[in-house]
């Protein structure tokens, strides 16, 4: 087995080459070529690595690691030693992620050649994209928690840099800051969780920690064994909540749409935001050791899926519809993981990466042509942009979960997992489990509704704006990735189809055959998806808006509530942002009056003392001599009085 680290090293090399040679606009046209060559090689190696794992009958994990830093334990006590390692872990989970990341990244870079054409920061864009590809691939193959955390923060940095790519606009700069700060809330917990777990387990390494946790050999330093594991699992999950934009830290992702659209497709739909899901899957042994943490994951996932789906229904910015849709689908993945199935969660992650990247790229294509993000200003683009409209329809139907597209299979895997989850039933009872399942089914309806709405308003009917009547189709370099992704989105279900013997599940070592036990869920979700499409088409079909005809006061109140994103942004702004500002005003006052007072006081005291003492300096020579003499006399008399003799007796 050759070195696995070469896969992430390829885009890193591309990053360095672009930074060294192709940053300037005059030569930036070579930048994408460098990155694409690197990603083609990375994709080939990833496929080879995945194939190697697939053909290995046991799908055993391969680990390659080196010691990065070794701190010897204290000589006296033998305690406090620490060995930090970097390594690469290749198991079925990371093999799948490697292929997904390098494939989607490659297609999006090809698309970017056309989308970013003529942009002033062309070289910078591809440099950041290379750095991101490196970080994401590194995150996927990290073999211990500390290494994963380093890459975790690196992808966060790349996300920040690329959201703020158009840094000249205030909104983009603010969105970048918001993404960075909001995810930081989760990352603090994540880091604490890593440290606590590794301290109790004696290692950072995933495989070793897994043995420790499964063997009940953790040495908790607070609470008991089970409570400790639950706390650690929830701390790790808080990192996933931030990165994967789950409630209550989901607010950054819609704003992140300020970045260029291919960035949204790659980072904020297909890969980085899925890192949280990957993290939970990677640390699944911790969650499994604590049933309570899994239930929390499932509940957060289900609630987030519902919350985001409702908001997506009322958005008019095409990218924001997709952003909320992404949050909602990430909620699905969390729900599947919480229900106890890594295979279902990762399967949905894989299909979602394809069809959501596809939808974002289609959105980019129409934004490129129409010059606006607002769907209501578009309309009728299907006439001139046939390829984009067709591929977007494939993506939308896949996302809605229509047979036989990939979303149908992965969504049913998620719902069937929930419907038959013994863990959820044990913790929440049949009623609680069915509540989560019901939320999942309602989200199916909402998803089909908002995707149909998006497609109908953008592509169907007559052109609403005369200026955009002549919007032209995008160049082939942008259409090619659309077609490839559409093909993948359409056929991705085969990965985990009875025809292929549930290959995906078997690869990930899942033994479940849930689909057989929950046949009614398949029909229910398909029926709800068709209902959503039909009702949405009835309202928005042909690009018209018949909402006014069915509006009632109650519906308006709900609309108002959802339109304001459940008031969550306002809540955060009011509570967190204002709270921070109020606290900083107090600190500023203390600094200005107390701390500064001490400093000023020291200077003032010196000045006053100086003004007082300088009066002793009269400039009169004879006064000095008198003081000298008097002092000598006083000292002499004092010594004599005390009986001290200065005489040196020989």
Partner 1 sequence: MMVSHVQLSHYLVVAALLFAIGAFGALTRRNAVAVLMGVELMLNAANLNFVAFWRYVDPTRLEGQIFVLIIITVAAAEAAVGLALVLNIYRNFGTVEVDRVNTLKG
**Contacting residues toward partner 1, per CB under 8 A:** 613-622, 625-626, 629, 650
**Of 599 and 613, CB closest to partner 1:** 613
In sequence order, the 6+-apart residues with CB closer than 8 A to the CB of 101 are 46, 133, 136, 137, 140, 270, 271
Please tell me whether the peptide bond between 111 and the residue prior to it is cis, using omega within 30 degrees of 0.
Answer: no
**Of 79 and 621, CB closest to partner 1:** 621
**Of 466 and 648, CB closest to partner 1:** 648
| Minimum separation from the CB atom of position 626 to partner 1 (A) | 5
In which element (H, E) is residue 64 found? strand 62-71
**Of 78 and 650, CB closest to partner 1:** 650
Burial class (CB in 10 A: 0-12, 13-18, 19+), 154: middle
CB 352 within 8 A of CB 410: yes
**Of 6 and 608, CB closest to partner 1:** 608
| Minimum separation from the CB atom of position 615 to partner 1 (A) | 6
| Minimum separation from the CB atom of position 643 to partner 1 (A) | 21
**Of 76 and 616, CB closest to partner 1:** 616
In which element (H, E) is residue 87 found? strand 82-90
| Minimum separation from the CB atom of position 633 to partner 1 (A) | 10
Largest Cα–Cα separation, the chain: 123
Report the Cα 283 to chain-centroid distance in Å: 16
**Of 76 and 621, CB closest to partner 1:** 621
Residues 495, 622: Cα–Cα separation, whole Å: 106
C-alpha dihedral sign at 530, 535, 538, 544: negative
| Minimum separation from the CB atom of position 617 to partner 1 (A) | 3
**Of 602 and 626, CB closest to partner 1:** 626
| Minimum separation from the CB atom of position 645 to partner 1 (A) | 15
**Of 72 and 646, CB closest to partner 1:** 646
**Of 69 and 613, CB closest to partner 1:** 613
Tally Cβ neighbours within 10 Å of residue 624.
13
Q: What does the block give as tokens for 304?
A: 């987030």
DSSP-based three-state secondary structure for 67: strand
**Of 555 and 632, CB closest to partner 1:** 632
Tally Cβ neighbours within 10 Å of residue 151.
20
| Minimum separation from the CB atom of position 638 to partner 1 (A) | 19
**Of 500 and 618, CB closest to partner 1:** 618
| Minimum separation from the CB atom of position 632 to partner 1 (A) | 11
Closest alpha carbon to 385 in 473, 470, 462: 473
| Minimum separation from the CB atom of position 623 to partner 1 (A) | 9
- CA triplet 255, 261, 263: central angle to 5 degrees? 85
DSSP-based three-state secondary structure for 91: coil
One-character DSSP codes across 302-335: HHHHHHHHHHHHH--BHHHHHHHHHHHHHHHHHH
| Minimum separation from the CB atom of position 580 to partner 1 (A) | 51
| Minimum separation from the CB atom of position 582 to partner 1 (A) | 50
Buried b (16+ CB within 10 A) or exposed e, 82-102: eeebbbbbbbbbbbbbbbbbb
Closest alpha carbon to 352 in 279, 410, 306, 300: 410
| Minimum separation from the CB atom of position 596 to partner 1 (A) | 30
Q: What is the 3-state secondary structure (H, E, C) of 479-506?
A: HHHHHHHHHHHHHHHHHHCHHHCCHHHH
**Of 466 and 646, CB closest to partner 1:** 646
Burial class (CB in 10 A: 0-12, 13-18, 19+), 642: exposed
CB 562 within 8 A of CB 310: yes
Q: What's the CA dihedral at 478, 484, 490, 496 to 10 degrees?
A: -140
501: left (phi over 0), alpha (psi -120 to 50) or beta: left
**Of 84 and 631, CB closest to partner 1:** 631
| Minimum separation from the CB atom of position 630 to partner 1 (A) | 10
| Minimum separation from the CB atom of position 621 to partner 1 (A) | 5
| Minimum separation from the CB atom of position 591 to partner 1 (A) | 36
**Of 555 and 625, CB closest to partner 1:** 625
DSSP-based three-state secondary structure for 353: helix
Q: Which stretches of 202-274 are DSSP H helices?
A: 206-214, 225-243, 252-255, 261-265
């Amino acid at each position: 087995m050759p070195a696995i680290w070469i896969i992430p090293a390829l885009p890193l090399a591309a990053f360095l080459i672009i930074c060294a040679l192709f940053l300037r606009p005059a030569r930036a046209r070579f930048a994408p070529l460098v990155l694409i060559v690197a990603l083609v090689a990375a994709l080939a190696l990833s496929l080879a690595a995945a194939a190697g794992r697939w053909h290995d009958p046991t799908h055993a994990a391969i680990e390659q690691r080196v010691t990065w830093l070794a701190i010897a334990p204290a000589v006296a006590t033998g305690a406090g030693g620490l060995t930090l390692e970097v390594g690469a872990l290749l198991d079925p989970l990371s093999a799948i992620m490697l292929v997904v990341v390098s494939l989607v990244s490659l297609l999006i870079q090809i698309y970017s050649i056309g989308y970013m054409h003529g942009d002033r920061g062309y070289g910078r864009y591809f440099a950041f994209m290379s750095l991101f590809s490196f970080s994401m691939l590194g995150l996927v193959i990290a073999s211990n928690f500390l290494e994963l955390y380093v890459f975790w923060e690196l992808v966060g940095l790349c996300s920040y840099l690329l959201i703020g790519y158009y840094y000249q606009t205030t909104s983009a700069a603010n969105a970048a800051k918001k993404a960075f700060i909001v995810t930081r809330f989760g990352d603090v917990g994540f880091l604490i969780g890593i440290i606590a777990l590794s301290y109790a387990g004696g290692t950072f390494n995933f495989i070793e920690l897994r043995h420790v946790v499964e063997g009940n050999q953790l040495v908790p330093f607070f609470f008991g064994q089970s409570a400790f594991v639950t706390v650690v699992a929830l701390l790790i999950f808080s990192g996933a909540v931030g990165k994967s934009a789950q409630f209550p830290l989901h607010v950054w992702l819609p704003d992140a749409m300020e970045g260029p659209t291919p960035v949204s497709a790659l980072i904020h739909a297909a890969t980085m935001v899925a890192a949280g899901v990957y993290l939970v899957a990677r640390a699944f042994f911790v969650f499994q050791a604590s049933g309570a943490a899994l239930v929390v994951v499932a509940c957060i996932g289900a609630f987030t899926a519902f919350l985001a789906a409702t908001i997506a229904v009322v958005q008019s910015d095409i990218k924001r519809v997709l952003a909320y849709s992404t949050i909602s689908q990430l909620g699905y993945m969390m729900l599947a993981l919480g229900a106890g199935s890594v295979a279902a969660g990762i399967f949905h992650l894989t299909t979602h990466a394809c069809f959501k990247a596809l939808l974002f790229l289609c959105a980019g294509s129409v934004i490129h042509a129409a010059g606006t993000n607002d769907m209501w200003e578009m309309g009728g683009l299907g006439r001139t942009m046939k390829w984009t409209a067709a591929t977007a329809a494939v993506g939308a139907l896949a996302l809605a979960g229509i047979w036989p597209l990939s979303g149908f299979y992965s969504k049913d895997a998620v719902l069937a997992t929930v419907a038959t989850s013994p863990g959820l039933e044990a913790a929440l009872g049949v009623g609680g489990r069915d509540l989560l399942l019901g939320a999942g089914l309602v989200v199916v309806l909402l998803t089909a509704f908002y995707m149909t709405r998006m497609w109908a308003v953008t592509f169907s009917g007559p052109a609403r704006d005369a200026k955009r009547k002549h919007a032209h189709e995008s160049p082939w370099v942008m259409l090619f990735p659309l077609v490839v992704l559409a093909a993948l989105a359409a056929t991705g279900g085969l990965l985990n189809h009875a025809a292929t013997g549930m290959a995906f599940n078997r690869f990930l070592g899942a033994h479940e055959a849930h689909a057989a036990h929950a046949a009614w869920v398949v029909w229910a979700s398909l029926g709800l998806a068709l209902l959503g499409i039909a009702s949405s088409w009835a309202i928005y079909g042909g690009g018209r808006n018949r909402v006014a005809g069915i509006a009632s006061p109650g519906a308006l109140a709900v609309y108002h509530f959802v339109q304001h994103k459940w008031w969550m942004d306002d809540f955060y702004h009011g509570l967190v942002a204002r709270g921070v500002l109020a606290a900083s005003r107090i600190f500023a006052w203390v600094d200005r009056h107390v701390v500064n007072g001490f400093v000023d006081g020291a200077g003032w005291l010196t000045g006053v003392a100086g003004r007082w003492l300088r009066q002793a300096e009269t400039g009169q020579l004879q006064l000095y001599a008198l003081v000298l003499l008097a002092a000598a006399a006083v000292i002499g008399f004092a010594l004599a009085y005390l009986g001290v003799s200065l005489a040196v007796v020989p």
